[in-house]
């Protein structure tokens, strides 16, 4: 099964793609995570990407298409794309890649949310510094305060691009460059949507129902 999750920053793409990966054995391909890993590793590509990401703009199509091109071939049970495609050029490149390897998209799912709430969601987000498990100050706390549920670490971190002014720029980039993907997939009859404003568990349940 091959899935794209679409939605603005904070919509819950990362949260729900973890569920899809764990429940269906799919590979999660999250371009934001891959770019952050390149930044942390200090690669040439990471150095180029960091300034752009910190400004809230999109990294160039060439870079992200290159990252996905290799990764998409290594998904034996299928994939969830989280954060890709993000421009029409990326969606067109994805169509070509899939045709080349004989795969197809099964579901393109929009997590529908309201922008105003996204700033609060993103500013409350943090993750485990060791295993990357995601949390939120209000909506998803670890069971034991200060201890990661997944690996027991007590080191947590927040993203550099989660400052309020950068979040506003990321939302602008979403509406200008990524929202045109909704009609792109709708015209093919591939687009489905789920209420991303519901509680995390309810969004998960709606996805489970949609994929059944």
Q: Of 38, 53, 109, 194, which lies in the binding site for ligand AP5, with binding defined by CB under 6 A? A: 53
Q: Are 87 and 177 in contact (CB under 8 A)?
A: yes
For ligand AP5, the binding residue among 4, 39, 64, 148 (CB under 6 A) is 64
Binding status of residue 139 toward ligand AP5 by CB under 6 A? yes
Catalytic residue among 158, 159, 163, 169: 158
* 4 is a contact residue toward ligand AP5 (CB under 6 A): no
Q: How far is residue 157's CA from residue 136's CA, in Å, rounded to a whole number?
A: 11
Residues 11, 7: Cα–Cα separation, whole Å = 6
121 touching ligand AP5, by CB under 6 A: yes
d(CA 87, CA 173): 10
Cβ of residue 35: shortest distance to ligand AP5, in angstroms?
5
For residue 11, state whether it binds ligand AP5 (rule: CB under 6 A). yes
CB proximity list for 5: less than 8 A, separation 6 or greater: 13, 16, 17, 20, 80, 81, 82, 109, 111
Which of 2, 3, 6, 15 is the binder for ligand AP5 (CB under 6 A)? 15
d(CA 65, CA 47): 17
Enumerate residues 6+ apart whose C-beta is below 8 A from 158. 125, 126, 127
Question: Which positions are catalytic?
Answer: 13, 86, 125, 158, 170
Binding site for ligand AP5 (CB under 6 A): 7, 9-15, 31-32, 35, 52-53, 58-59, 64, 83-84, 86, 90, 121-122, 124-125, 134, 136, 139-140, 161, 170, 196, 198-200, 203
């Amino acid at each position: 099964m091959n899935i794209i999750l679409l939605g603005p920053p904070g919509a819950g793409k990362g949260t729900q793609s973890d569920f899809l990966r764990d429940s269906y054995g799919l590979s999660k391909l999250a371009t934001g995570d891959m770019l952050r890993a390149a930044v942390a590793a200090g690669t040439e590509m990471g150095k180029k990407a960091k300034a752009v990401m910190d400004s809230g703009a999109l990294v160039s199509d060439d870079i992200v298409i290159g990252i996905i091109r290799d990764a998409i071939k290594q998904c034996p049970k299928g994939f969830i794309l989280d954060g890709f495609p993000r421009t029409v050029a990326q969606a067109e490149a994805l169509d070509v890649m899939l045709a080349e390897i004989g795969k197809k998209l099964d579901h393109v799912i929009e997590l529908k949310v309201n922008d105003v709430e996204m700033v609060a969601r993103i500013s409350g987000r943090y993750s485990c510094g060791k295993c990357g498990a995601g949390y939120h100050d209000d909506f998803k706390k670890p069971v034991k305060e200060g201890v990661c549920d997944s690996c027991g670490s007590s080191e947590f971190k927040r993203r550099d691009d989660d400052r309020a002014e950068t979040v506003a720029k990321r939302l602008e980039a979403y509406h200008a460059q990524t929202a045109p993907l909704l009609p792109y997939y709708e015209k093919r009859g591939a687009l489905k949507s789920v209420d991303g404003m519901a509680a995390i568990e309810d969004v998960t349940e709606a996805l489970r129902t949609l994929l059944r």
